[in-house]
Structure 1
């Protein structure tokens, strides 16, 4: 039940940002669905025993692939789907606690959360970039084969 609630909240969180970004209505649902599915991939990876960093990387790989596919299907930039799809994965609590402990002058805890946040964000970026490269190379090969 908790996982279903998390998936609903991931969709609604993505929806909030999609509306804030003035996303067109025709791609609103698929963009928000991407955020929910990215969170699902993250939860599944955690349940299978992956650490949070690998789980975030795998979820971002999925988001990259999903975004590229939706971009071709809807003839829109993949960036729209990536930005909205990654919203549930953003390590907001890490950012919050790193500042919180910094204000409390607990430098050790602050650095711990800052390190966690930077590593997680790096894993997210790596997943998106890797999928973009793989997808671009694959599309180039397909276009060459058609010629």
Structure 2
């Protein structure tokens, strides 16, 4: 790719040079950056962040939060839906071990009345909680001012 751009630059002047330069810039990856807040002693959060980076094509920054409960209170995460880490993505709260594909679904659909999605607790087999071939069924719950509902199921 770089070789083709270099050849085009040698053969192009003026407005054509500008167009070739813009084309080269448009091929660069412009991945988003999201911050995941976690308790400093939790290792599964880092495993989940790796999953999220790959699945969302994003950079996930892990930030240790001294008071996770206050952070969850600030973002109105219902107590019964809480897990070990919290991430804010494009204004939505992502709580716990939510699969990246479900986050993509949320961002694509942008359902009315939903402020976040959560996987309560730490189900075995969810992203970041893999253990051998064991998988525990779990649900991703949407929450917001209109209440709670099942957003996705994993069996």
Q: Which structure features the higher share of strand residues?
A: 2
Greater C-alpha radius of gyration? 2
TM norm structure 1:
0.29
